[in-house]
Amino acid sequence: MTATIERFDQLDLQAPILAALAEIGYETPSPIQAACIPHLLAGHDILGEAQTGTGKTAAFALPALDQVDIHQRNPQVLVLTPTRELAIQVAEAFQRYASKMPGFHVLPIYGGQSMVVQLRQLQRGAHVVVGTPGRVMDHLERKSLNLDGLTTLILDEADEMLRMGFIDDVEWILEHTPSARQTALFSATMPDAIRRVAHRYLRDPKEVKIKAATATVSTIKQRFLQIAGPHKLDALTRILEVEDDFDAAIVFVRTKTATVELAEKLEARGYAAACLNGDMTQQLRERVIEQLKNETLDIVVATDVAARGIDVPRVSHVINYDIPYDTEAYVHRIGRTGRAGRNGNAILFVAPRESHLLRQIERATKQPIEPLKLPSREAVADKRVAAFRQQVSEVLESEDLTFFLDVVAAIEEKHDADVHTIAAALAFLAQKDRPLQMPDTGKPDIAQLAAGAGKPERPAREPRDNRSEILERRRDYAEGRLARYRIDVGREHMASPKDIVGAIANEAGIESRFIGQINLFEDYSTVELPADLSNDVLQILRRARVRQQPLNIRLASPEEASRERGGRGAPPKKPFRKEGGFDKPGGFKTRKPKP
């Protein structure tokens, strides 16, 4: 295993996996992938020390997939992660790598998602289960998760699980898995408690230690803006207008569809923008890059794969419209600016529920990312007026205005208006399509919404004292002590549960763990939320929009609640209780109901 591995096809992976990697655009394995994959394929346990962003997800997911028996529907691979966000991220990675494996199924399980939905999905079967320790324990206790056929167990970000107080839960889960399993443990650091777990549960593991090659260029100014998804476009256009050194930008999004949609919206706002994605032919791709070079284009909206190899010195800004899940992807993205010794700017949009990804990037790059103050309406207006004045000055200095002086004189004589009034009318006509003053919509300015949004602190966790009490609290939540609300958006509006969760979490600041089951009907939906939301939060949610449709949230009627449970007319669930109200940012703490 000492030979240098330069291509994925040098690894002994199945053809469908290699085909999926080629489609994604993966070419050369990262150091941790080259070090771990051969060991895991050979059946060894792994103790890996690597930062987030070094490519460790593929390092354990690819060999795990290689050994999955598609015909066996019971879980064969279990991945434990500290957070729901990472569980979803890892599950999505497995799905991408297995895109050429018909019949493959991966299931993320975590707290805050409906237990009923998870039970149904587990009954249908999954080859890979990715979960947080608490919810995995719930299913093991219920015997809804059968690990008798488990062959591979992966502990991802073990030090983070230790820091969050999950390490006892992890050991409890390890004791309830087959002893003959293969185990891989990955951790950014290796404290004594993690080593003790490794020595107790891993069999003669191969140790791999990788330092993240994620140093960012010192000439790149890195900033972040915490902003909810619906406000991203307005925030982007404001930033483009007020940045003094703006020349050209690459705006990164996650999906091919998003490149097209965002480029069209920017074009509609008067920007010279185009998309760049993997569906485009090489000829079209080269044309877009050439237009960026010769200044007929100022903005390119791209995916990671499509933007590889772009080297255009005039790119002054890289804007991460969608935050990358992978730290190395972030470093590669911002490397598109600050070239040839020039200064560059990297701006990162962070939704409130994505703050953990910002912390991961800072830890891996060992560089702080400064908060960005979004320009106000007044600042944008000042910038537009200054640019307009500059344009007028240049015309006064360089153009022959004899003909237009005669036109103005005729207007002055006919309307008996002074020259200043006529100039104001002409200025109004000139700026009609791009007003110098931003209209006041009566809603809070997005600059105010983003103001002071620094790096949010991780909420303190309850002390993890007694296992039976921990499990009891989890069972309380798993039973769904929430109330059902009706919202005026449904299938006919092309809404999805993801859209609804995003609107509720981003607009009202409700943590996703307090959002329960969502049921979509034709012209409305129902969603489980805490029973005693404050009036302020309800007002925000009534105005919030999904697919341009106001939610107009209110408590569901008994008939709607009955229909949601299949028309059986069951009594409503006991409301979820809270301490202190929902008026404070960051949600609320749960407590056990009084007997």
We report the CATH number of the domain holding residue 47 as: 3.40.50.300
Please give the pLDDT value at position 479.
Answer: 44
Q: Which percentage of the chain shows pLDDT scores above 70?
A: 80
Q: Are residues 304 and 423 in the same domain?
A: no
Q: Are strands 182-187 and 46-50 parallel, antiparallel or unpaired?
A: parallel
For 525, phi then psi, to 5°, come to -140, 165
pLDDT at 552 over 70: yes
- With respect to residue 261, please indicate whether it lies within any of the assigned structural domains: yes
Q: Are residues 43 and 191 in the same domain?
A: yes
Q: What is the mean pLDDT of residues 351-364?
A: 83
Q: Are residues 95 and 199 in the same domain?
A: yes
- Residue 306 to residue 301: CA distance in whole angstroms: 10
Q: Do the beta carbons of residue 285 and residue 312 sit within 8 Å?
A: no
Angstrom CA distances, 433 to 146, 269, 387, 427, 430, stand at 63, 9, 15, 11, 8
Q: What would the two tokens of residue 192 be? A: 């004594």
Q: pLDDT-based confidence at 38, cuts 50/70/90? A: very high
**Rounded to an integer, what is the distance from CA 82 to the centroid of its chain?**
17
Q: pLDDT-based confidence at 574, cuts 50/70/90? A: very low
Q: pLDDT-based confidence at 443, cuts 50/70/90? A: low
Q: Are strands 525-529 and 152-155 parallel, antiparallel or unpaired?
A: unpaired
pLDDT at 529 over 60: yes
Please give the pLDDT value at position 449.
Answer: 53
Residue type, 575: P
Please give the pLDDT value at position 481.
Answer: 61
pLDDT at 456 over 50: no
- Residue 145 to residue 123: CA distance in whole angstroms: 9
Q: Do the beta carbons of residue 179 and residue 200 sit within 8 Å?
A: no
Q: Which domain holds residue 198?
A: 8-210
Burial 117-148 (b: 16+ CB within 10 A, else e): ebeebbeeebbbbbbbbbbbbbbbeeeebebe
Please give the pLDDT value at position 447.
Answer: 58
- With respect to residue 424, please indicate whether it lies within any of the assigned structural domains: yes
Contacts from 260-267 at CB under 8 Å and sequence distance 24+?
A: 262/233, 262/301, 262/321, 263/299, 263/301, 265/233, 266/236, 266/237, 266/299, 266/301
Beta-carbon contacts of residue 399 (< 8 Å; ≥ 6 apart): none
Q: What is the mean pLDDT of residues 215-235?
A: 82
pLDDT tens track for 288-342: 989 999 999 999 999 876 776 677 889 999 999 999 877 777 887 888 888 766 7
Q: pLDDT-based confidence at 76, cuts 50/70/90? A: very high
Q: Are residues 131 and 247 in the same domain?
A: no
Query: Which comes out higher in pLDDT, residue 272 or 560?
Result: 272
Q: pLDDT-based confidence at 461, cuts 50/70/90? A: very low
Q: Are residues 95 and 113 in the same domain?
A: yes
pLDDT at 270 over 90: no
Q: Are residues 117 and 185 in the same domain?
A: yes
Q: Are residues 303 and 404 in the same domain?
A: no
Please give the pLDDT value at position 432.
Answer: 63
Lowest mean per-residue pLDDT among 448-462, 484-498, 571-585: 571-585
Closest-CA residue to 167 (of 461, 487, 497): 461
Closest-CA residue to 58 (of 21, 106, 3): 21
Query: Which comes out higher in pLDDT, residue 75 or 4?
Result: 75
- With respect to residue 546, please indicate whether it lies within any of the assigned structural domains: yes
Question: Considering its fold, how many domains does the chain have in total?
Answer: 4
Q: Are residues 506 and 491 in the same domain?
A: yes
Query: Which comes out higher in pLDDT, residue 559 or 232?
Result: 232
pLDDT at 477 over 70: no
Please give the pLDDT value at position 117.
Answer: 87
Q: Which percentage of the chain shows pLDDT scores above 90?
A: 31
pLDDT tens track for 91-124: 988 999 999 999 999 999 988 778 888 998 999 8
State the average pLDDT for the chain: 80
- With respect to residue 557, please indicate whether it lies within any of the assigned structural domains: yes
Measured at the CA of 131, the angle between CA 125 and CA 133, to 5 degrees, comes to 130
Q: Do the beta carbons of residue 343 and residue 321 sit within 8 Å?
A: no
What does pTM read for this prediction?
0.47
Please give the pLDDT value at position 563.
Answer: 64
**Helix 84-97 to helix 56-66 angle, to the nearest 10 degrees?**
50
Q: Are residues 42 and 134 in the same domain?
A: yes
Q: Are residues 69 and 205 in the same domain?
A: yes
Specify the CATH number for the domain of residue 538: 3.30.70.330
Q: Are residues 232 and 341 in the same domain?
A: yes
Lowest mean per-residue pLDDT among 70-79, 261-270, 475-484: 475-484
Q: Do the beta carbons of residue 289 and residue 229 sit within 8 Å?
A: no
pLDDT at 445 over 50: yes
> How many CB atoms sit inside 10 A of residue 395's CB?
11
Highest average pLDDT, of 119-133, 151-165, 209-223, comes from 119-133
Give the residue ranges of DSSP H helices in 446-568: 446-450, 467-478, 497-508, 535-543, 558-564
Q: Are residues 40 and 168 in the same domain?
A: yes
For 467, phi then psi, to 5°, come to -60, -40
Please give the pLDDT value at position 589.
Answer: 34
Give 3-state DSSP helix, strand, coil % of the chain, rounded to 5: 45, 15, 45
